[in-house]
Structure formats: structure tokens, C-alpha cells
Amino acid sequence: MPPNRTIPNRSAPTSDGPDPLARRFSASDGFAERLLLIAGPCLLEEDDLNARIAKALVESCGAHGLDLVFKGSFDKANRSSIRSARGPGLEEGLARLARIRERFGVPITTDIHAPEQAAPAAAVVDLLQIPAFLCRQTDLLAAAGETGTAVNVKKGQFMAPEEMRQAVAKVRESGGTRIMLTERGTFFGYHRLVNDFAGVGDLLEMGRAEGVPICFDATHSTQLPGAVGTASGGRPERAPLLAKAAVAAGVGAIFLECHPDPRSAPSDASTMLALDEVGSLLGTLAALRTVVAESTMLDEGPPTALRSPRP
């Protein structure tokens, strides 16, 4: 990036309406009944394609009454192969995200992989994401917490739900007050992830106790890690099923990655949903959320103490 080029910060309003993240983390109604979608491409691409994805998501979420946070990665530091695409880099990637935020008026999020990335990313984005493989990295969690920006920690594929309480503590004791946890599957032998919905219930219960909203990553949950040798495989056709199950279980936020042509995407091509399939899925998820919100099965609400320990 040329040295005289500046990156817009996040001081400008994100939209004319209520901030979707403020709705989640508010003391009064932080566990909102309105479903939150965190979505976008895996790796940020050129502005035209990023904007095409953002426009479709904004329109679909508006049509179905969902909140949206646009997601895009400036770097993927944990690719299977050293030859895999990494992304536009920190400075250019943040600039591309800022342009999405400015044009569409939506909050933005990106993942960070090293403590020194926390402050510059926090100056631009509304939500910092901690990758699942790094959810125990104390220095990274502390650096994210110190920024004061909201932090979404993905649950490690090797972590029990209750263990994520320590990740919350690391962010919180470093100054972070707005924390989200995301379920994205658990290792089941080699090249396979499974979703334990009893464990999702445990995560929701812990989230209520800690005052932490829970998100479910529908596309990465279909990943087959390392199954293609130099890349991961996936079963994206199962992502809608998992997303619907998560919303039915009471999860109030869904994460998914999408692309107009997933096969041509530079990262996670085997797990992303086709952009033209997202709208109908969001309609179904919104309808499910309404049913759950109106029933006594709603697993979201003001933070409460943990129930009695299970026998």
C-alpha cells in the first residue's frame, strides 16, 4: 500500500439502526432474539467481489430481519500447504474491510494470528476473531482483550465446552468486556469433524453463566481437515442442516462463509456455500429463530448462574 494511503477507522456509525453487536453485548438485552449472521468470503478478494458478496448478504439479511457482521480474512496463517494463498496482508486487507463498512454500513470482523495484529485490526474492525487453533494462546487473547474491541473466540476442535471458560477469562482479565464464543466442530479421528449438540447445549449453558453469546460456525463444521493432502476437504451440502439444527437448539448467531463460485475461491473452496444459496437458507433460519424465541425452549436470555451440576 502506498505510504500516503490511510485506512478509515471504525469511529463512524455502522448503520442508521441499532448496532447488531451492541444488541448482543448490551446489559439489558444482550442475548437478542434477532438472529445474527457473521458471513463473507474466507479470504478477502478484490473490492468488486467483496462488495458483490456484501451486497447480497445485506439484502438477504434485510429481507429476513437478520443482523449482519461482514467477515473477511486478510491472512490465513494456518493453510495446509506453504504454497497456498494467504491473502492481501494486514494493511491492504484492513483497507478493503473498511471500504465494505463505509459503503454498506455494516459491522466488520477479521481474524488475527499474532498479538501485534490486535491493535491495528481493532482500530478498523468491530469484532476481532481468534482462530480455533489459537484459542489457548494467552498472549493473543490478552492482546485482543486489551484493545477493548469485541472478541469472538472460536472453540478449538480439541477443546471441551467447559474449557472455553479459561479463554473467556484471559480476554476478560486483560480488559475485554464483550466476548463471544463460536462452536466449529470437534476432531473425530483423522480428517473428520463432528458437532456434539449435547456439547453445544453445555456451551450455551456456560455462556449464560458467563454473559457470553454463543455462535455456531456452519461451514467450517463440515470441514475434512487435511483430507486432500495439500488442502482440506469438506461437505458444504451439510452446512444448511447444521445451521438449522443450531438455531433450533437456541444458538443466536450463525457464522458461514460464502462465495459466488466456491470452486474458484482461494481458500476454503471445499466448505463455502454458493452465494445464491444463502438467501433461502437465511429465510429458513429466521423462521426457526422466531419459533424458538416464542417457545419455552429458547436457550438465550439474561446471564444466569449455572444450573446444578449434572450427576
CATH code of the domain covering residue 215? 3.20.20.70
Residue 77 lies in a domain: yes
Contact criterion met (CB below 8 Å) for 180 and 215: yes
Assigned domain for 199 exists: yes
- Whether residue 120 is contained in a domain is answered as yes
pLDDT at 164 over 50: yes
Alpha helices (H) in 80-194, listed in sequence order = 90-104, 118-122, 138-146, 164-172
Residue 179 lies in a domain: yes
Closest CA to 269 of 125, 98, 80: 80
Q: What is the pLDDT of residue 193?
A: 85
Which residues fall within 8 angstroms of residue 279, CB to CB, at 6 or more apart? 56, 59, 60, 63, 64
In a domain, 27, yes or no: no
What pLDDT is attached to residue 126?
96
75 touches 38 (CB < 8 A)? no
Question: Looking at residue 21, what is its pLDDT?
Answer: 83
What is the structure's pLDDT at 51? 98
CA 199 to chain centre: 18
Q: Which domain, by its residues, includes 193? A: 33-293
Query: What's the pLDDT at 141?
Result: 98
* Number of C-beta neighbours around residue 259 at 10 A: 24
**How far is the CA of 105 from the CAs of 61, 110, 121, 284, in angstroms?**
13, 16, 18, 25
Is residue 224, in this structure, part of any structural domain at all? yes
Highest mean pLDDT among 31-35, 132-136, 300-304: 132-136
For the segment 201-205, the average pLDDT, to the nearest whole number, is: 94
Q: Per-residue pLDDT averaged across 59-75, rounded? A: 96
Asked if pLDDT for residue 4 goes beyond 90, the answer is: no
Average confidence (pLDDT) over 202-220 = 93
What mean pLDDT do residues 146-171 have? 96
Position 142 scores a pLDDT of: 98
Q: How many domains does the chain have?
A: 1
Q: Are 100 and 51 in contact (CB under 8 A)?
A: yes
Is residue 18 a part of any domain in this protein? no
In a domain, 127, yes or no: yes
Structure confidence by residue, pLDDT tens digits, 114-157: 999 999 999 999 999 999 999 999 999 999 999 999 999 999 99
